[in-house]
Each structure stands twice: as C-alpha cells, then as structure tokens.
Amino acid sequence: MPLTASLRLIGRLILALLAVVGLAGLFLALIVLTDGVRSGIAAWLTTLGTGVIAALWRGRGRTWPGRLWPFAPVIIAAALTASVCVPTAPTTRQYPPDLPFVATQHWSLATGSRVAVYHYPPASDGTRHPKPLVYLHGGPVRSISVLDHRFLRLLAGQGYDVYAYEQPGGGRSDLLPMEQYTISRSVRDLAAFIDRLDKGSVDVLGFSAGAVVLTRALATPDVAVHVHRAIIAEPGPMDGPTALTSGQQGRPSARGLVPAPTGPRATRVPRYAVALGLIQLGLLTPDTGLITQAEGVNAFKAADLGSDTASVYCARDAHRIPTEDTAENFSFSEAASLRIMQTIKDSPSIAPQLRRSRTPAMLMIAECSSQVRQWATDILANDPAIQRTQYMPGVGHRMWNGLDDNSERASAVITAFLQDKPAPLRNYPARADIPTFLREHK
C-alpha cells in the first residue's frame, strides 16, 4: 500500500476513534445533565441522534459507499453506550436468604420503617443481665456481617439479651424512598425500635456509622431517656463541622498491603461502573434515574469495597485478614449510605446538645483505626457523660475480628462497662489527654 494511502487510512482511523470518544463523552455528559432519566435512554437517544446528524453531514457529496463510512463510529459508540442503559441485575429487591444460625424477624416501626431483627437470648446458665443490649451496625446501609453475628452470639453467651436490626435499605430490611434516608430518620428508627421492644431502657452498642446514630441519639433528649448505657465504638463524624475536620488516623492499617479482593464486581459492568462511580463523585444524585435503588443494592458486591476491608485491620494482620461475610449474606447500598452521610455533612453542630447528655457512656478507640481521630475525640471532648475511654491495642477499626483473642478482649471491655466494674484497660485518652493523644499520633 502506498505511503500516502496508509497515512490517509491512519488519519481516518484516528478521526473515527475521536468520534467514538466524543460521542461517549457526550453521552456521559447528558447522563449527568439529565440525572440518568429513564435508565439513560433519553441521553442515549440524544447521543445517537447527534451522531447520525454528524454522519449525514460528513457524508454529504460522497458516493453511497463513502456516505456509509461516517456511520461506523456512530454504530460503535451506540453499542458501547447502550450497555449503560441495559440492566444486568434484577431491578426489584432481592433479599439475602435467612441465616442458618439465627431467625430473621421483621418488625414494622412507628416511623414507617420495616426492619430485619435478630435476637440472641442470654445463655441459660450463669448470670443474666437485666437490660437488653441493642446493637447498631456500621455501613450505614448494609447487612450485619457474619463476623458481627458471631460477636453478638459471644455477648449472648455471657448473659446478655442481644437484639440487632439492619438499617432500612440494608440486609433483609425493606427499602425507603431515597429522600427518607437521613441521619435524623436513623435516630428516630432507634427510638421506635426501643419502643417496639417494650422492655424499658436498654443498653446500646453502636459501631462505626452505628456509633454516629448513637451519639446523635444521646444529643436528643427524647431518645436518650430510653438509653441506659451507651458504648460508642469507633465512631464516624457526628455532624457537619466534625465531617470537615482533617486529621490523622491511627497506627498503619493493612490498606495497600494485601492483593485486591477477588470475586464478581458491579464495577466491571459498564452500567454499574458508570452509575455507582458518578454517584460516588457526586455527579449523579443517590436517587438517579439511571438505576433503581433496588438494582444498585442487588448489583453491588463485596469486592466493590476494594481496599476498604483491608483498611479496618492492622498492618501486622495483612497476611491473615479473616473473611468477614458470605456472598449470600452481603448487601450494601452505596446510594443510600452516601445520602445519609450527606445529611450528616449538611447538619449543624450537635456539640451544644451533646454537652447536656447525662447517659453514662464509654468510648472505644482502636490502635490501627482507619477513622479520623478527631471524629472520636470531638465526642469525648463534648460528652460529659463519657465515663471511660478504652484504647484497644493490636486491633484496627474492626475490633472484634475473631483473630487471636481480639473478640474476647472487646467483649471484656464492654462487659466491664455495662456491669459498672473496673475497666480492663486504663482510661485513655481522658479529656485532658486529647491534645497529647493527637500530637503523638496514637
């Protein structure tokens, strides 16, 4: 082939590639501008129409074979972008099957939420504790992991009457309209759950996002009056000002030290890679028309969490990170979780209300925590009813992880506080220790 003809062919291929990229870029821009309305079909039809018009304009004055060539990149771009508009996961909610070791109950709360509830009765032998213990899991909108269930069984074996429920939209709980996922709704759900339990005041253990719900409940007098004792374990940011705080984390975690998780991923499917990615970037709203809430939950897999799982373990445990959950039990709603987190970021400071708290509380902080330290120390500084802080050595954000005696140590700390017995660890950091604690990057 003559050099001139070869250069001409290369030039046409480059132009065709640019046309495909341009049309794909136009499609993504239209997805954002229209918020993915009608599963992205509106953006796709507009992109296709634009491409056809451009191809007709480029083919004007040519013979018929020449007029067809400009349509090639349009066809390729249409095929690529059409994959974003076609669901490959069920569009109605597919709930995880029941766990083999605990019954799933479904409670309708006064707030309108219908939640999956798990009850671990106290062991028949030994001392039974008078107050029920309610567990608020992390996530915020996900299933309670099998690892968490094992820990709850451990507490029940020590005489606690343990109840846990999955936040609306997570696990086996029913979905809510997207606009109803707010941190204030989560607090009201806790109050409604305690009321539905109908056993008087309760002890509450809140972990991670659940610790945020508990903290805000302590700052809400009508809810706090129903909490006998509160355990705030590894909290996230409690309000907007705290969420904006930049600071250090704990000792090094296993993030980046282990291979990427294996298994199916939603982010390997164009539709969900685009939808979930743009939601994460804030370019699509959580209630986008591109994918339904149920479809997003059905599509999301444990491997889509990426390095997040490794980040909740100490670097020294990188070679032995346990399996936290099963594929059948795992569920996570990225959209609903981001929506709740946004309402926290948009909320004013709750510090003035928290300073009036009188509910006895304990704060648990992990040595290798992936949480920003100020998220915990801000609560410590503002809640006068925190009676002790337990700095947990040798563990990451996931403190009860089944490795060595970590779960037993966490249980001992919780048990000592709930029974008002001497703490297994020294009270550290106390309020006066906060500046030094942060300065020394503990």
**Which of these ranges, 106-115, 228-237, 320-329, 379-388, has the smallest mean pLDDT?**
320-329
**Which of these ranges, 101-110, 167-176, 243-252, 403-412, has the smallest mean pLDDT?**
243-252
pTM of the predicted model as reported, rounded to 2 decimal places? 0.93
pLDDT at 39: 94
Confidence of residue 61 (pLDDT cuts 50, 70, 90): low
pLDDT digits (tens, 9 = 90+) for 394-437: 999 999 999 999 999 999 999 999 999 999 999 999 999 999 99
DSSP notation for 82-139: HTTTS--S-SS--PPPPPTTSPPEEEE-TTS-EEEEEEEPPPSSSPPPSS-EEEE-SS
105-260+305-439 — its CATH code? Answer: 3.40.50.1820
pLDDT of 207 strictly over 60 = yes
Confidence of residue 12 (pLDDT cuts 50, 70, 90): low
Instruction: Give the C-alpha distances (Å, rounded to integers) separating 316 from 5, 253, 368, 406.
Output: 61, 8, 10, 14
DSSP notation for 132-178: -EEEE-SSSSBPPPHHHHHHHHHHHTTT--EEEEPPTTSTTSPP--G
Give the residue from 188, 196, 177 showing the smallest Cα distance to 117: 196
pLDDT digits (tens, 9 = 90+) for 149-196: 999 999 999 999 999 999 999 999 999 999 999 999 999 999 999 999
Confidence of residue 68 (pLDDT cuts 50, 70, 90): confident
Best-predicted range by mean pLDDT (220-234, 256-270, 312-326): 220-234
pLDDT of 1 strictly over 60 = no
- Which residue is it, tokens 């337990």? 390
Rounded distance between C-alpha atoms, residue 419 and residue 414, angstroms: 9
User: Mean pLDDT, to the nearest integer, of 32-53?
Assistant: 94
All structural domains of the chain with their residue ranges = 3-82, 105-260+305-439
pLDDT at 119: 98
User: Mean pLDDT, to the nearest integer, of 52-65?
Assistant: 78
